[in-house]
Structure 1
């Protein structure tokens, strides 16, 4: 008589061992002092950004509307705003045209150095503007 094995004869599955929770201090054991240096860096970068912004807001909010309008309508301020926005508009138009051409060429054609050009296109997304300026 043939012997049959049924699922009822199988041993029950082994219980999984409970996982130990990992504390925050054990997560970055590869770089000792990572949390302290990250906090220090974020603190000073925040100060570099917040001090000028807060000074600008405080100066603006202490002005009257007449003083504010006089400052904003100053010919030097208007000229600087026109130059900034004009240069931004020209740069955006040039980048749009060349970006479309480069994207078209990268998608449509196979050529030597295609991967290098593709990497150069991706570089601004990986490299912050402040680092590129330094």
Structure 2
């Protein structure tokens, strides 16, 4: 490897490392103390959801093993590619299902930030909020 290629490789490695640390730092700061809730889509494929209601954001996490062995992934998204090609769509479905199952069916997803293949943060807005409609937001079961 020549000197220029070596310098470029080190620069790319540092850039990737820093961006990964930034994502990890952000997730740790914003979601480490939030309890996990589990929502299912399709044929009961589970997704972990960390909901930060006070800032109207949630982190949806897919399980790596389930990504390979999940029931019905190929059949549900036939012609749309395999699990990797449909992951973003499934994470969006899980976010929508989570809002629907926690009395926030009138909420709208307003944005998303992808942190890794298996982790996406969704921003949402609720007008009116469940509390304004006289509802209590239920808590879904967690893992374990």
Report the TM-score, using the length of structure 1 for normalisation.
0.30
Q: Which structure features the higher share of strand residues? A: 2
